[in-house]
Amino acid sequence: MPSYAWVLGVRPGYEDEYRRRHDELWPEMADCLRAAGIRNYHIFRHGLTLFGYFETDDLEATITALREDPVNRRWSDYMADIMQVDLDPRTGFPFLLPRQWSLD
């Protein structure tokens, strides 16, 4: 299955709040991600830097589904005050990292 990664940031001083909001992730947001085709989704944090990893069979369909989902829009609005997000203007999705190397 194809895998993807992104890097975003947490605003200084909001590390604990970021953790709390994800510990209390809305069930409908988890459903939204699954419905968009996302599996094996993980977010790691180093200082203020977030690294996300996920798998999906159809990236374009996943991006479209998330962009159109009202739950995802509400979640994005909810997180906006504590996040530093750089979106790809072509997709409206965070810039995806190019894979450099893999070990199977």
Verify whether residue 46 is a known catalytic residue.
Answer: no
Active-site entry in 19, 20, 22, 73: 22
Alpha-carbon gap, residue 6 to 21, rounded angstroms: 19
CA distance 37 to 61: 8
Residue 8's DSSP bridge partners are 50
Catalytic positions are 22
